[in-house]
Chains A and B, each alone.
Chain A
Amino acid sequence: MWVGCTGTHYPPYPHLLNDSDISLALRSLHRNEALSFYIAISPWLVGFLLFTVGPMMISLLISFTDWDLLTAPLWVGLDNYRDLATDPLFIQSIKVTLAYTAAYVPLDLVGGLLLALLVLPRFKGVGAFRTIFYMPTVFSGVAFVVVWLWMLNPNGGLINLTLGWFGIVGPRWLLDPNYALWALVMMSFWGWGRSMALYLGGMQSIPGELYEAAAMDGADSFRQFFTITLPLLSPTIFFILVLSVITTFQSFTSAFVATNGGPLDSTLFLVLYIYRQAFEFFNMGYAAAMSWVLFAIIMTLTVLLMRSQKFWVFYLGGRSE
C-alpha cells in the first residue's frame, strides 16, 4: 500500500529534470523524505481520519436522513435543512449565539489584554497573580458554573448581597430573560486568563530595543503602547480573535448547567439546541443538519477573519506569504 501511496509525485525541481542522474537521486531523496514524513505523522493522521473526518462525513450523510438511532435511517434529502428555516427555536438559538459572541469576543480581547498588562511587569509575587488569573481556565466548566450559580442567586447570592450594601436591588439574573444571557457573559470573564496568557507570550516576544529606541525619542508609555505594543501584538490579537469566535459559537456548558436554555429560551445556544434535538428527542438527522449549519457559519467567519488580516495584522519581518 505504501508503494502505491508514494508512486506518483509532482516534479520538485523542474529545471533539473533534464539531467536524469541528479533528478533520479533527488527524486529518491524526496520520496524518502515524504515517506518518513507520513510515517512520522501517521498516528495523528489515522486518529484524525478515524475520529474526526470519518464521523464528520457520516454526520453529513445523517443530516440528509430522518434517524432516531434505532430504526433504519430514512433518506429525506434536504428536508432537514428546509425545516430549519422555519423552526422558531433554531432561529432563536442563532440569535442568542450571535448576541453572546458579539458580547463575549470583544470583552475577552480587551479584558485579557488588560490583565496581561497588569501582570506584565516583573514585580515580587507577579507569578502568583498570573497563576490566580489563569486558574479558572483550568477548572472544570461545570464546577465553575456551579460556583457562579451561588454567586448569582437573586436572594442571598454574593453579587446581589454586595449590590444590596449600596442600596441597589440587584436583578434576578438567571431568572430574568432580560438578564440571563448577560449573566452568562459575566460568568465567561473567568475565561480571560486564557487570552491573558497568550497576550503575555506575545508581549514578551517583542524586542526590548524597540522600547529603548522609542524612550530615547521621548515617547511616553501610552505612545509606546499604541505604536509598538499594539501593532506587534496584532498577530496575537488575531489568533485570540479567531480562537474566541470559534469557541463562543460552540458555547454549551454554562447554559446547559445553569439555565438549560431558559428562561423563555433567552440562553438557548445553538449547540444546546443541537444537543436537545439529538440526545433528548433523538432527531439525529435534524441535529446533524444543524451541526453542519454551525460548521458553515464558523467556517465563513474564520475565512472572513483570515481575509481581514491584511488590513490590520502586522507581522514583524513581513508577511510570510
Chain B
Amino acid sequence: MKMLFRFLSVAIMLSLVLSACATATPSTPSTTDGTIVIRAGTGDGGDGLTPHQQIIQNFEDQNPNVIVQLEPVSGRDYYARLLTQLAAKAAPDIMQIGDDAVPSFVSKNAFVPLDTYLENSNFDASIYLPGLLDPGKVDGKQYLLPKDYSPLAVYYNKKLFDEANVPYPVDGWTWEDLLATAQKLTLKDTSGKVTQWGIQLPAAWTTGFEYWVAAAGGSLISEDGKSFVGAMDSPEVARAVQFYADLYNKYQVAPQPADMNSFGGGNSEFANGKAAMMLFGRWPQGGLKTNPNISLGVVAPPKDKVRANILFWGGFGIATSSKEADTAFKYLSFVSGEPGAQVWKDWALPAVKSVADSSGLSKDPIEGVWIGELNYLMPRAYTFTPFWNETADPALRKVLESVILDPNADVNALLAQAAKDAQAALDKIGE
C-alpha cells in the first residue's frame, strides 16, 4: 500500500509537470516572412460561412501581408470553447458573439475596449443605422461592432388573405387588429378541426417574448437591474402573457408548438401555407420568399400601449489576448464597416446606412420594414443585468410553457412565482 502511495505521488507530480508544459503553446501561428496571421472566430456554420470567406478574400487582396484564418465553431458549445481558449490565452484575435453574451464576456475581461482605436483611426462609427452600436456597448464603452441583426416582424401570406378577402395588415396596427385578423383567417372544417391557422407564434421563446412585454408598456426587470419582483409580476407583463396565451388557447388562432425545444416552437404551418401570419425574426425570410406556398408580405409587429420592437444582434470584437490587436482592428473595421456590409447585404440586413440606402434595401417593401423597425427598439432585459440568462430566463420560460400547455393556467400566480424564483436566484448571486 505504502509503495502504491509513493508511486501515485510521483505520478501526480509528473502529471502536473507535463500539464504545465502543455499550456505554453503559442496562440498565433508565426511566420518568418513578415506576414501577420490573425484568427477570426465565428459561431456561424454551413452557408453562413460564405460571406465571411468572401470578406476575408477581399481584405487579403487589399492587405497582402495579412492572412485571416476563419475558425468556425457552430452549435451550442461555441461560447464554452471561446472562454476556454481565452482562459488558455489562445483565443481568436477577432471573436464574434451574440447580443446577450456581450455583458458577460465583457465582465470577464474578454474584449479590448475599442474607444482609443476608434479615436485614433479614420474609422467613422456614425456610419451605422440607428441602434446598432448599442448592443456592443457596456457602461458607455464600445467593445464590439455590428455584424448583422434582426428585429421582429409579422410575415403574412398574401394568398391566404386574398382567398379570405381580408385586407393586409398595415403599419401601426394594434393587438386588437391582430386578433381580429387572425380570427378571420382561422378556418375550420365541418368537424370543427382547424384547417388553417391565423398566426404562427414562436412558442416559449423568451427573448422574442420581450417584444410583447415592451409593447404592453412593461418591463421584466427594474431599471437598476436588481429586482424582478415588481417588474416581472406587474400588470403590464400579465397583460402581455395573457394576450399571448389567449391567442393559443382562448381564441385558438395559433397552432400549438410542434417541438418546445426547437427554436421558435418547431412549427411549419406558415411554410406549408397553413397559417396566414407568423411573428419571427428575419432569419427564415430567404426560404419564405421562394416558397411556392407563400406570396410574402412583411409588416411591423402590432402596437399595444407602445409601438415597440426588440433587436437581435451579432457583432465582432478584439480579444484581450490578441498579440496583433492593431491588425485585428484593421480587419474589424473592414468586416464591420462598409466593405463588409457590401457583402453582408446579400445574406442579411446590412448594418451600414449608406449600403442599405444605395442598394435600395431601405426602400424595399419587405427589407424596408425590417430596417424601419430600428426606430422603435426597446432595451432588452439582458442589458440591465449580466445574470439575466441564469436567473430570470428559466423562470419566464416556465411561465410561457405553462400558459401555452395549460389553458387554465393562472397567469398572475405564475408570474408572481416566477418573479420570486428569479429574484431568489439573483439575490443568491449578489451575496
Contacts and interface: CB of A to CB of B under 8 A. Distances in A.
Nearest to B15: A50
Contacts of A283: 390
A88 B418 CA distance: 12
Interface string B303-331: 00000000000000000000000000000
Contacts of B14: 46
Contacts of A83: 428
Nearest to A278: B80
A10 B104 CA distance: 56
A9 to B, nearest CB: 6
B162 interface: no
A45 interface: yes
B259 A149 contact: yes
B2 A8 contact: yes
Tell which of B3, B14, B257 has the most Cβ of chain A within 10 Å: B3
A182 to B, nearest CB: 16
B394 interface: yes
A70 B109 contact: yes
Interface string A53-71: 1100000000000001111
Interface string B2-26: 1100111011101110110000000
Contacts, number: 104
A245 interface: no
Contacts of A5: 3, 6-7, 10
A207 interface: no
Contacts of B76: 279-280
Contact of A38 (B7, B15, B109): B7
B430 to A, nearest CB: 12
B84 A69 contact: yes
B134 interface: no
A89 interface: yes
B87 A279 contact: no
B402 interface: yes
B3 A174 contact: no
Interface string B249-287: 000000011111100000000000000000000000000
Tell which of B7, B110, B398, B402 has the most Cβ of chain A within 10 Å: B7
A155 B15 contact: no
A8 B15 CA distance: 23
B15 A262 contact: no
Contacts of B79: 279-280
Contact of B260 (A6, A50, A259): A259
Contacts of A259: 260-261
Contact of B401 (A50, A258, A262, A282): A262
A132 interface: no
A264 B3 contact: no
Contacts of A155: 258
B11 A175 contact: no
B86 interface: yes
A34 interface: yes
B3 A8 contact: yes
B7 A262 contact: no
A50 B18 contact: yes
A154 interface: yes
Interface in A57-115: 68-71, 83, 88-89
Given A45-B11, A149-B259, A262-B260, A71 B108 contact: yes
Nearest to A34: B3
Interface string A254-279: 00001110111100000000000111
B260 A174 contact: yes
Interface in A9-57: 9-10, 34, 38, 45-46, 49-50, 53-54
B389 interface: yes
A22 B197 CA distance: 93
B351 to A, nearest CB: 27
Contact of B405 (A8, A46, A176, A260): A176
Contacts of B257: 175
B405 A89 contact: no
Nearest to A51: B15
B77 A265 contact: no
A68 B3 contact: no
B241 to A, nearest CB: 15
Interface of A: 1, 4-10, 34, 38, 45-46, 49-50, 53-54, 68-71, 83, 88-89, 149, 153-155, 172, 174-177, 258-260, 262-265, 277-283
Q: Give the 4 A-B CB pairs with smallest separation, nearest first.
A: A70-B108, A279-B80, A281-B390, A49-B11
Given A4-B10, A49-B11, A279-B79, 5 more contacts: A46-B14, A70-B87, A262-B204, A263-B204, A264-B405
Interface of B: 1-3, 6-8, 10-12, 14-16, 18-19, 76-77, 79-80, 83-84, 86-87, 104, 108-110, 204, 256-261, 389-390, 394, 397-398, 401-402, 405, 421, 428
28 contacts: A4-B10, A5-B10, A8-B2, A38-B7, A46-B14, A69-B84, A69-B87, A69-B108, A70-B108, A71-B109, A88-B421, A153-B259, A154-B258, A174-B261, A175-B257, A175-B259, A175-B260, A259-B261, A262-B204, A262-B260, A262-B261, A262-B401, A263-B401, A264-B402, A264-B405, A265-B398, A280-B389, A280-B390
